[in-house]
Amino acid sequence: RIHHELFQKETSGIFESLKRRALRLTDALNKVPGVSCQPIDGAMYAFPSVKLPPKAIEDAKQKEQEPDGLWCLELLEQTGIVTVPGSGFGQMDGSYHFRTTILPPDELLEEVVKKLSVFQEDFMKKYGDCNGSGGY
């Protein structure tokens, strides 16, 4: 009986922590300019969309990369944050996404989002704003 109660307590704590991180990450990602994230529900991953400037899309094509692949690679190089480009998941043409996990502990999650936000600001300065239908 004691083992079962302990198991339930630990399991409940893990699930509550994951729910809390999912809500916090969704909220934080939606505050990053050019990033939009649907609520994370039932997974340990977020799959936000990211608006990319035309200059970044053209630069990626010249490098024979997917535009969201370029974004993810630059994010990794500049921040150490590992994400997976949405192009590997069969997204619609002209849309760009990245996949990231909700598993960083609470105390690291804020730092990850802060780094991502600064990166996105620098990325937009480097490549210019999104114009037309891709603007924000």
Q: Which amino acid is at 34?
A: G
pLDDT digits (tens, 9 = 90+) for 66-112: 999 999 999 999 999 999 999 989 888 889 999 999 888 888 888 99
Residue 124: closest CA among 31, 32, 25, 47: 32
The one-letter code for the residue type at 104 is P
In DSSP terms, which residues pair with 98 in a beta bridge? 85
* Most confident option among 9-23, 48-62, 106-120: 48-62
Please answer whether residues 101 and 45 qualify as being in contact, where contact means their C-beta atoms are separated by less than 8 angstroms.
yes
Closest by Cα among 30, 32, 48, 35 to 101: 48
pLDDT, tens digit (0-9, with 9 covering 90-100), for 28-80: 999 999 999 999 987 889 999 999 999 999 999 999 999 999 999 999 999 99
